[in-house]
Amino acid sequence: MAKRDRMSGNEAVAYAIRQINPDVMPAFPITPSTEIPQMVSTYIANGEVDTEFIPVESEHSAMSAAIGAEAAGARTLTATSSAGLALMWEELLLAASNRMPLALALVNRTLSGPININCDHTDGMGARDTGWIQIYSENNQEAYDNFVQAYPIAENKNVHLPIMICQDGFITSHAVENIELLEDAAVKAFVGEYEPEEFLLNPGKPIAVGPYSVSNYAMEARKNQELALENAKEVILQVAAEYEKISGRKYGLFEAYKTEDADYIMLIMGSAAGTAKQAVDDLRAQGKKVGVLKLRVFRPFPAKEIAEALKNCKAVAIMDRCESYNGNGAALGSEVSAALFRNKVMISAVNYIYGLAGRDFTVTDVYRIFDELEQAELNGTEVEQYQYVGLRK
């Protein structure tokens, strides 16, 4: 039976970790993810889990230790944010190429500079091409639910890739919300025990982990990683279907909110989706046909599915909480536009940059964006294709 509680996003993830009881957690503190290893270490000290906590001297060391533990056959995780993820950069690539199904709780925070500790998606988007699965959470409930689903996805024999469960720093990580938790036994049964087929400490069956790959084999290894990421899409949906049976909560690659008859849709990730939904409710009450497509799974990128979901609208606002510095847009702007083009969905698409370094994003901003899309469609007014929301003049 589920139970109701009030928790911050960090508490919710730590609670899920307690229920899963992983084998090893190396971690190094960094705002705003510090509470997660702090809370897990408290669970360990209280005897509630038997996880081996490894205090390390840096985030690079944390991911190195996580890779070593996972290679040895232990279910492993860590947590970090911002510059911590950047310091892990080399190791992120190794974790994915070595096909280590470890988990990382990423509490999204902007990267310097200028120095700032508030939320945007600079860290996660910067790691988008490292080969990790990336799942983003709108609220504390989703942060909890997504983490419970992490290992069944990553450890699936057709996937075997590392996974990041992402939530917005301070906005969800520190804000307290009502949440519905599963019973410990239900989570333990859902996640199951980790029984890897190959691992370093398997007596009588030696293997090599991370050997030098000559040119004749490296491309094939990369292709196998890519195929595993493609496989992850179906596994994510399968795990979500099983999770719905025990939780009553439905998840997919994205959530379509009032998009069935929408002329104008906002595509967005993370906590700001709640703001967009509120604005959609307000505008629907005025007779406006608007909707939100909240992207949950960024890697693997559901290009065909997004194109299908958007094909009947007139225009889409593609919202990025990061900057790619290519002079033409940001990560979602580029990838969604490519998805539309390749799937021959010829609708208007405008890329907006919002919420960098914690800048407020309000329902009024959403009203203005939908109005801009509508005016462009009805009156032929020209829309700036790559613009910042709420920029001070």
- pTM attached to this predicted model: 0.97
Side-chain-facing half-sphere of 295: CA atoms under 13 Å: 27
What's the mean pLDDT in 294-309? 98
What's the mean pLDDT in 306-315? 98
pLDDT at 342: 98
- Higher-confidence residue of 113 and 266: namely 266
Summary count for the chain: helices (H), strands (E)? 13, 15
pLDDT at 162: 98
For the record, the structure tokens of 212 come out as 């030098």
pLDDT at 2: 85
Q: Is the pLDDT of residue 393 over 90?
A: no
pLDDT at 42: 98
The alpha-carbon radius of gyration of the chain (Å, integer) is 21
Mean confidence (pLDDT) of the chain: 97
CATH architecture of 254-388: 3-Layer(aba) Sandwich (3.40)
pLDDT at 298: 98
Report the C-alpha gap between 87 and 32 in whole angstroms.
Answer: 16
pLDDT at 155: 98
pLDDT at 204: 87
pLDDT at 1: 67
Over residues 204-219, the pLDDT tens digits come to 898 999 889 999 999 9
CATH architecture of 3-247: 3-Layer(aba) Sandwich (3.40)
Domain ranges in the chain?
Answer: 3-247, 254-388
What's the mean pLDDT in 256-264? 98
The number of residues in the chain equals 393
DSSP string, 144-171: HHHHHHHHHHHTSTTT---EEEEEETTT
Over residues 140-189, the pLDDT tens digits come to 999 999 999 999 999 999 999 999 999 999 999 999 999 999 999 999 99
pLDDT at 113: 85
> Is the separation of the CB atoms in 52 and 79 below 8 Å?
no
For the record, the structure tokens of 145 come out as 């639910």
For the record, the structure tokens of 361 come out as 């994003």
Name the residue among 163, 167, 58, 78 with its Cα closest to residue 123: 167
The CA angle 288-293-296, to the nearest 5 degrees, is: 160
Over residues 19-55, the pLDDT tens digits come to 999 999 999 999 999 999 999 999 999 999 999 999 9
pLDDT at 174: 98
> Is the separation of the CB atoms in 273 and 280 below 8 Å?
no
Output DSSP code: residue 76: B
> Is the separation of the CB atoms in 139 and 177 below 8 Å?
yes
Report the C-alpha gap between 28 and 54 in whole angstroms.
Answer: 9
pLDDT at 47: 97
Q: Is the pLDDT of residue 62 over 70?
A: yes
